[in-house]
Structure 1
Amino acid sequence: MSVLAQRWKLDEQRFSWMYEQMRAPRGVERDEKTGIWNVHGHANALQVLNNPAIFSSGTGRLIPENSEFDEGAITQLDPPRHTALRKLVSAAFSPKAIGELEPRVHAIVDTLLAKVADQPGFDLVTDFAYPLPITVITELLGVPASDHGLIHGWVDAMMSGTMEYSLVERDEQLDNEIDFVLEQARHITDYLRVLLKERMTNPRKDMLTSLVEAEIDGERLTEAEIVNFANALLVAGHVTTTALIGSTVLCLDAFPEADKKVRADRRLVPTLIEESLRYFPPIGMMARVTNAEVELDGVTIGPDQLVGVWIPTANRDGSVFADPFVFDPAREPNPHMAFGRGVHFCIGAALARREGRIAMNALFDRFPGLRVDPEGTPSFLTSPNLNGVSKLPVVVE
């Protein structure tokens, strides 16, 4: 059993990959209850994620409830449309752009930590891990700082359920939960639509204006494409980094020797971030749909089947990672799959890594004795497709 799972008594079914005695499963199997083909293992994950022609990201054709958010949603598109849309914002996430953004990230970090500097403790997520990336991505998009609370409330509500989706068994509870999630998503897209219309008459130097003015093959993007694209960037642009920062602190608290090692040698902070991403990846599962019959790990999967690639088990594949259940902040190489692979490799991965490194160095600098509050209990995200903490009380000694 992993230290983290044992310490916080993580649900053995939800976090089965954390329990060493169960071993990380490898292979392909169909869950008869959900109708989803679960894919485990590093090589299998690579085969799925690196082949968009066979394994499509357009899951909307099997999950029609989400169809209104599919047009322009970069996470739901395949090449060539995905490639064209991705290119529109790639410059904002280039090494040069991220380097220019770094002073602003430092300033946000300093402001947030100054607010809690004189407190004996604080909620790491609410006071730091969430507001840092949401501020960065909303500023890039052009969302006013005064509206961050609105976005936070809608995203929190979206992720408050279990979302244990099934193509086979549907009940009133699942239908109600889906309706609730879609309602929160509409709040965000309706909000972005208002900003979009404003940018049409009052352009600014932000990503939303760039999308309004962009053309692909001589044609402007539709309103739905812009709104859904911006929505995907907004949500994905902060949820992963929030989880990363919280999980890194959680892991260091569970592994005090690792904490001492990194504090004594800050050159390990980059590899610490990578090991946190491997050990407790923010994304639990990445979904794809088969375009044709395909054989995967000796198993035949028919067309129009929903395939779930489980990132945590790929990251614990013993054929790729030595001692996969050991948290090693100096692990190298570390070919984890927390940011995916292939054409859908997270466009904001470099920004998330930079934010994570800056955040952890700042926490080390300001709070040499920071640890998880022994009198408090972390609250973990409830969605099976996301890993991380929604609340993490810490104390400063």
Structure 2
Amino acid sequence: MSQMQQAWIDFCEELKGSVDYVFADDQVTESPIDEAEGVRHVVRSLVKACLATFENADPRLPELAWFHPSKMGLDNPDALYQSAPIDLVHDYEFSGNIGSVAYLGIALMSMKWGTGDFEFVRNIHVSELGADENGNFTVTLSSQPDPGTTGRPWFQLPAKRTSLLVRQFFSDWESESLAALSLRCLSEDPPASRITPEQLASKLRSVAAEVNRVPPFWNSYYREHIDRGEVNSFEHIEPTPPEDVGSLGGATDQAYAECWYDISPGQALLIEVEVPDCVYWNVQLGDIWGQSTDWVNRQSSLNAGQAVLDNGTLRVVVSEADPGYNNWLDLGGCTQGQILFRWNQANVIPKPVARLLAIEDLPAAMPGSEAVLTADARSAADARSAALARRRRAALTRFRR
């Protein structure tokens, strides 16, 4: 048997038990569909690990590639995520146009999902890029001091291997233009384009280890809400964000509010919150595995450009059946999972108030006609259908699909 055959057999053996946690006796699955989604989460993690390990792993040929669907750790429905490996023993040119997205976040950070082994090297604020009046910029990332001869921003950073992570958050999916970004290693050292048997075996081991580690990590992390009694309630939210938000890959200039939801048919969770002054905010649903639920074809998320407020108050209805309100989050058959708010650069961190109600009790709890999609049932169905069609077009356009 060849070395490569043995490496492949070892890889398959290491992956065999990667779905065992999905079928554990203490798992919170309620149906075969939940189990199927758990296995799909493992497969998605396998795809993501393979792409990052085999196709975009050379820091001398970095690809600032977007990844979709990442479907882990409650990925943001409003986002375009991009990542590239870099090794700051080399110099890099980072350039492009900042576009008009609601939030553009740029971070240098190591990302070892599921281990808690995250290290933020530096956040780069858009204002530091030195963009011209048209939004164009060019900066240098280097471990060397600024020679003072380039005439452009220079970021001196530790000489270590890390990743460049870009978050682009869209509030208006249809009109905001994405940032067009490029990353180039300035090293003249020619990279190897082919893979050796030893490298292949090592990468296969790395992929298997990530797939065995990451999906159960997120499931376990979100299930802790149940253990702490944080179900259909945000009472646990503190007025200041935790200092370790970056240890889970979160944006360090962003506060979060999340809880577990458990909503039966015929029920609705009404959430009310005063929206703070902030650069960007959203609310979304996720399943028991930490996957964002279908936000392309269903209204399972809302943001400042999509929701209707009542004098600064956001009222969101979470239910299976469509109650006919603008601010409805569609469970899509997922009766348990996560609700997550993001508040980006907010002046205060609000605490949402959640109430579990019968569907028929919603009208008395929803003041103001602005909450109603439309008074006529047929028109409401048409309005919802049109909104979902626009949502799908805008989402797929974002990813050039």
TM-score using structure 2 length: 0.23
From the CA coordinates, give the structure whose radius of gyration is larger. Answer: 2
TM-score using structure 1 length: 0.23
